[in-house]
Structures are given as C-alpha cells and as structure tokens.
C-alpha cells in the first residue's frame, strides 16, 4: 500500500519565492489571507477598528506610567519624561523591523506566496530578538551618562537610572512583542495584535499601580489659582515602590505580551506561521526584510534625534517640572493622533496587498479613504484641545507646573490635527508600499530644515557649548515651552504637503520589495 510524499515548504534561494506560485491574481481583488474577497470599505473596517483600538491601548501604556509618576512627584515625572524618549528609541527599532515585516508579508500574502510570508515571520522574530538583547545591554550600561546628558539633577537623576535599568531587561521582550504584532497585521489579522495589546495594558495597569503605591486622583485650579485635588481611588497595597514599581509593571506587561504573540504565531491561526526551522538565518529573506526596514530605521532615527534635541531645549530652560509638563501634553496628544496612525497602518496593509494583487488604483483609493476618516477623527480631538485643555490635563496630573503649562501646549497642537492626520496616513501608506527611502529623506529634510530651527528660535533658549561658550538665540522674546510647541506643530503642515506631493506623483506604486 503506497503512501503520499509529504508536502515540503521551500524557498527559492535566488528569488526568495515559492517554487510553484499560483496563477496571477485577478486585478481589483486581494487574493489570499484574511482580506480575500472583501470590499474595500469592509477591508478598511476589518483592519482599522482593531488597529485603532490597539493603538489607543499602546498609547495607554505610556499614559498610565506618566499619570502614576505625576502622582508621585514632579521629579518622578521628569525622570519618566526623559525615559519616554529612550522608550521611543526602543520602539522605533521595533517599528522599523515591523514595517519591513508588514510590507514583505502583506505583499507575499497578497500574491499568494505563503512560503515567503512564513519565512519573513521567522526572520523578523530572529532579528527582533537579536537587536533587543544588544540594545537592552547598552541601555543598562549607559543609564547614568544619559541622565547627565539630559541635565537631570537632584532627585530626578537617580529615579531615572532606577527606571532605565529595569527597562533594559524589558527591551528584548518589548521588541519581540511589537514585531510579532506587525507580522500578524501584515497577514491582514488585526484582531490578535489587539488582544495582545489589551493583555499588555491590563497587566501594566494592575502591576504598575499595585507596586507603585500611587493613589488615583484628579486636580483643577480654583479661581484663586490654588490646586484642588480629588482622590478617585486610594491604593490599598503597601508596596510603595514608586518609580521602580512602574518599571516592574512595564516589564511584566511586555513579557506577557511577547509570550502571547509568539504562542499565536506558532499556532498559525492568523494565516502565517512561525516555524522553528525559520528561526535560522535565511540570507535572501533577511536581505529583503532589512532592505525595507533599514531606510525606515534611518527615517525614524532622524525623527527621534530631532525630538531628542528638542528635549535638550526643554532641559536648557532650567525650570523644574517642565519635562513633566512636556510629557503630559505629549501623552494626551498621542491619544489624539492614534486614529491617524491606525488608519495609516490599515492603509499600509491594504496598499501592500492591492499592489501585490496588481491593482495600484485600488491602493490609491484605499489611501484617500483612510486619510478622510483619520482627518475627521483627529479634527474632533483638535476641537477638544481648543475648548477644554485644562480639564483634560487635570484628569492626569495634580502637579502645579503641569497644570500651568500643559493646557497651553494642547491648545497649540489643536490647530494642526487635520494636516497631522493627512501626513500620518500618507507616510504609512508609502511605507506599506515599500517606499521607505523617500519617507526617510523627507523626514530628515523636514526635521532638520524646518522643525528644529523653528522650535529653537521660537523657544528662545541659547545653546550651551561648554568651554566654547553659547550659541545665542536670535529671538528677542522668551516664548519658552509654548514657543517650542508652536515650532514643532507648524512643521507638521510642511511634512503633510511633502507626503501629499509624493502620493500625487505615483512613483510609490512602482516600488519593488
């Protein structure tokens, strides 16, 4: 009695493709994966609502940490504020790998090449683990010098070092969790990454609150300018670990999230599967992954470096609590721009799959529809920032410096929510098409040619050069933190214009990944 030969999944070493690809797809439709057979509106809905919810949950992780630190002291919030820029650096590494993963997997799934998609999953997780371990070691080693560079002193410096050394252990699992979620999204599965982020948030909220010992409270300023504080929920636990408790909560959260997403990928329920044999280096697939990821990392590095310099501007202002006020406003703003980011990711997946299916016109239409939705939602947030910024800030912090400055910052960013939404959507669309080199170029030009010069001039600070003196600011008016935000927000208008021109040019539809 004969037996059938086992099916063997292999890659072509030259092309990095399945040896027996199925017939070409019919133009206008996605061929495989979770989105196959869906109308565009249905595909946008299937992708967008989980991504939007996941993005909100992702922003909530940082928001919870900031709110808890604001319940400790202004020094603790300053430490967390500087730490958030370090976390952003870690996140951009994961995002760069994830962009490569999403683009390669989406294109492969759209063309029905599941062998290539599975290979990309394995190489993505392998790269995320390797990079995460290296960066974690560096972070733990350099915590002290980073504190000195950022002008942290007094109580905030040792708190920052404590936070960073625990966070260093978190880096590998955070990187794996974020990249694993990007792999699932590339296959068109937005539900499971959403579940992962819900788990991460639940663990982070519970553990961080329990171990930090912070009471949940709100605050407002009365008619005389005095702070009125209201306890919402007292912390019944006696750990009182302060900022170390917040860091432990973050570690527990991302460890749980990483284990969960790896389990999902091994099971293969999302249409792509993490296989043990794919966790060995495969040169062709790794090269394709890095080819898309590296320009995105360079783009993100340019953006991060520019924002790192802006946080130096805040430190040079020499006002205690400004780091915290800056971060509180950023955390609130982050909630507002998650719709643009989420619709951009949905557009990125649709773009990759429509281009893989041979239909660039549908890819263009998907971007326009996603941009319209994100503009409406972010425009609504902009109205709230213009009308009730003080009330919003009071929900998150009881510190006087935060209550004085953060509402003014929200008022500034309320004016640019719609161009910000358009820029976010088109940028992620270009990434999904593999046009990461152009996005990187625009980021560097806009960041260093417009954003930083405007922010520096309008904030009014001089740039210290140590023994070489200072670079004087030409602005005779000291607009401080508010001026800084005016410069930062104005640049978003220029960046949205550059991305729109690229979209109209259409060269992104011909990019190979």
pLDDT in tens, 321-376: 898 999 899 889 988 888 888 888 888 888 877 887 777 888 888 888 999 999 99
CA atoms within 13 A on the CB side of 414: 19
SS3 for 217?
Answer: strand
Which residues face 231 on adjacent strands?
217
How many of the other CB atoms lie within 10 Å of CB of 395?
13
CA distance 284 to 289: 9
Cβ atoms 109, 270 nearer than 8 A:
no
Greater pLDDT, 226 or 310: 310
Flag whether pLDDT at 414 surpasses 60. yes
- The mean pLDDT of 285-297, rounded to a whole number, is 85
Cβ atoms 296, 431 nearer than 8 A:
yes
Flag whether pLDDT at 278 surpasses 60. yes
Return the residue matching tokens 């214009």: 497
Sketch the domain layout of the chain as residue ranges: 40-510
Mean pLDDT for the chain? 84
Backbone angles phi, psi at 241, to 5 degrees: -85, -5
| 150-154, 256-260, 441-445: range with highest mean pLDDT | 256-260
Token readout for 142 is 């350099």
Q: Which uninterrupted H or E stretch holds 54? A: helix 40-70
Cβ atoms 421, 337 nearer than 8 A:
yes
Backbone angles phi, psi at 318, to 5 degrees: 70, 30
Cβ neighbors of 112 (< 8 A, separation 6 or more) are 21, 22, 25, 31, 32
Flag whether pLDDT at 119 surpasses 70. yes
Flag whether pLDDT at 413 surpasses 90. yes
Cβ neighbors of 327 (< 8 A, separation 6 or more) are 66, 77, 80, 81, 84
Q: Which DSSP category does 16 fall into? A: -
Token readout for 70 is 């604001």
- The mean pLDDT of 245-270, rounded to a whole number, is 91
Which residues face 216 on adjacent strands?
233
Return the residue matching tokens 């980011």: 341
pLDDT value of residue 34: 63
Cβ atoms 128, 179 nearer than 8 A:
yes
pLDDT value of residue 7: 41
Q: Could you tell me the maximum CA-CA distance found in the chain, to the nearest angstrom?
A: 93
pLDDT value of residue 301: 78
Name the percent of the chain lying above pLDDT 70. Answer: 91
CA angle 140, 144, 150 (to 5 degrees): 115
Cβ neighbors of 443 (< 8 A, separation 6 or more) are 299, 300, 302, 303, 495
Q: Which DSSP category does 470 fall into? A: E
How many of the other CB atoms lie within 10 Å of CB of 60?
21
Cβ atoms 334, 61 nearer than 8 A:
no
How many of the other CB atoms lie within 10 Å of CB of 473?
17
Return the residue matching tokens 């080693």: 141
- The mean pLDDT of 187-199, rounded to a whole number, is 84
């Amino acid at each position: 009695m004969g037996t059938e030969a086992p099916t063997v999944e292999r890659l072509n070493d030259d092309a990095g493709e399945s040896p027996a690809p199925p017939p070409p797809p019919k133009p206008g439709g996605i061929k495989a994966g979770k989105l196959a057979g869906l109308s565009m509106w249905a595909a946008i809905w299937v992708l967008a609502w989980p991504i939007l919810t996941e993005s909100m949950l992702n922003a909530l992780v940082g928001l919870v940490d900031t709110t808890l630190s604001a319940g400790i002291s202004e020094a603790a919030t300053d430490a967390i504020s500087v730490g958030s820029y370090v976390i952003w650096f870690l996140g951009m590494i994961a995002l760069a790998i994830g962009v490569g993963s999403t683009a390669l997997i989406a294109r492969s799934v759209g063309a029905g090449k599941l062998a290539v998609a599975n290979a990309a999953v394995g190489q993505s997780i392998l790269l995320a683990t390797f990079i995460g371990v290296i960066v974690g070691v560096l972070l733990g080693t350099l915590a002290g010098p980073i504190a000195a560079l950022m002008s942290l002193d007094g109580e905030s410096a040792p708190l920052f070092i404590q936070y960073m050394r625990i966070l260093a252990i978190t880096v590998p699992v955070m990187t794996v969790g974020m990249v694993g979620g990007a792999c699932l999204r590339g296959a068109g599965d937005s539900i499971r990454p959403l579940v992962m982020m819900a788990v991460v948030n639940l663990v982070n909220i519970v553990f961080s609150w329990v171990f930090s010992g912070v009471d949940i409270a709100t605050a407002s300023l009365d008619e005389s300018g005095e702070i009125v504080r209201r306890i919402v929920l007292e912390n019944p636990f006696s750990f009182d670990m302060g900022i170390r408790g917040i860091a432990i909560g973050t570690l527990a959260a991302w460890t749980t999230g990483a284990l969960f997403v790896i389990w999902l990928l091994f099971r293969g329920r999302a249409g792509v599967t993490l296989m043990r044999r794919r966790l060995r280096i495969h040169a062709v697939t790794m090269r394709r992954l890095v080819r898309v990821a590296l320009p995105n990392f360079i783009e993100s590095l340019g953006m991060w470096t520019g924002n790192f310099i802006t946080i130096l501007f805040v430190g040079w202002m020499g006002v205690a609590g400004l780091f915290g006020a800056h971060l509180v406003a950023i955390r609130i703003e982050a909630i507002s721009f998650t719709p643009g980011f989420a619709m951009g990711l949905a557009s990125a997946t649709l773009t990759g799959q429509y281009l893989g299916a041979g239909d660039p016109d549908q890819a263009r239409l998907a971007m326009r529809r996603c941009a319209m939705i994100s503009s409406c939602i972010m425009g609504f947030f902009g109205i709230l920032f213009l009308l009730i910024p003080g009330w919003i800030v009071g929900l998150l912090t009881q510190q006087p410096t935060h209550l004085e400055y953060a509402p003014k910052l929200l008022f500034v960013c309320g004016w640019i929510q719609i161009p910000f939404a358009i820029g976010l959507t088109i940028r992620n669309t270009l990434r999904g098409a593999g046009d990461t080199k152009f996005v990187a170029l625009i980021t560097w030009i806009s960041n260093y040619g417009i954003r930083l010069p405007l922010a520096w001039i309008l904030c009014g600070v001089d740039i210290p050069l140590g023994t070489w003196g200072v670079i004087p600011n030409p602005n005779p008016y000291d607009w401080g933190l508010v001026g800084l935000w005016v410069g930062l927000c104005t640049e978003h208008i220029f960046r949205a214009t550059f991305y729109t021109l690229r979209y109209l040019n259409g060269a992104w539809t011909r990019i190979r990944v």
